[in-house]
Amino acid sequence: MTTAAPLSTESRFLDDLILHGHFLPTGEPGLYGRGMVFEDVRARFDALVTRIHAADRPETPRFPPLIPRRTLEQAGYLNSFPHLCGVVFSFEGGEPAALKLAERAKNGGDWTSLLSATGVALAPAACYPSYPAIAARGPLPPEGVTLDLGGCYVFRHEPSADPARLQMFHQRELVRIGAPDQVAAWRETWMNRARKIFAMAGLEAALAPASDQFFGRTGKLLANSQREQGLKFEALVSIASEQPTAAASFNLHHEHFGSAFGIRRHDGSVAHSSCVGFGLERITLALFRAHGMDPGKWPQSVRRNLWPE
């Protein structure tokens, strides 16, 4: 008689989330519905970030989770992350092709070959649509621009059994565009603010140098360079796996997006940019992991900060 292999930490945590109605399985890895308690906690943490950011008086534009394909191309995303991107395909044929598609779907065949790529892609980061929008306004004012883009859905094609690695999730994104010293100082401020925010939520978060998941051999060189220059830091928290998981990132882009989209400062120089992103689902999961599946039983100090009214 064989003994069943023990469940991994990720599997046990996922089962617990499903049991309590926080995650609703869809049959696809990394794609879940969320219960209302889960959504309430996510919204409460999101509101905490909003309260902290209010001091900056940021602009608050909102964009849909779709962006023009050309934005991905201009940003250079396909050079570095082709394995994560998602493009929207749609049906554009006539009636004969429609009948063929319906027949294939009915018989379990491949109907996707009858679809064509559209001009839009799923946004892989909430900040991407903001750069062409700011460029279209003309030169920046001397003080630069600060944006709070809210908690937008973003997509990355990395299906996984780890409940903390979702294909579609909310990214709370903050962006600073301006002079090099302005954006560097702003990022440093937000690293300090993040420490405070995580502490208010009762989470232990370690800030550490990091790099993006660049694709291919060249990607390793880019990742090493990113670490050496200190362009990216992450806030690491315990969620489901043995190792801590990145729940927020703090990024310096230098002139990358300014050059790509033609964003100019008031003096004509290319603008620098920085962004801060909070993975709201990951942070919500970390809260359940740290404090238990019932928010009503969480420490009063945490509840006062997340439910202040």
Return averaged pLDDT per consecutive 10 residues of the chain, 309 residues in all.
64 96 97 98 97 94 96 92 94 94 96 96 96 97 97 94 95 98 97 97 95 64 67 94 93 96 97 97 98 97 94
pLDDT for residue 177: 98
| Per-residue model confidence (pLDDT) at position 30 | 95
Cross-strand partners of 7: none
Angstrom distance (rounded) from CA 177 to CA 161: 37
List the domains of the chain with CATH numbers.
9-66+124-306 (3.30.930.10)
pLDDT attached to residue 211: 74
- Token pair belonging to 117: 């790529």
Cβ proximity of 188 and 100 under 8 Å: no
- Cα–Cα distance between 39 and 47 in angstroms, integer? 12
pLDDT for the residue 8: 84
Rounded distance between C-alpha atoms, residue 202 and residue 154, angstroms? 26
Quote the pTM value: 0.92
Could you tell me the two tokens for 253? 């882009």
Cα dihedral 7, 13, 18, 24 in deg (nearest 10): -100
* pLDDT in the model for residue 122: 97
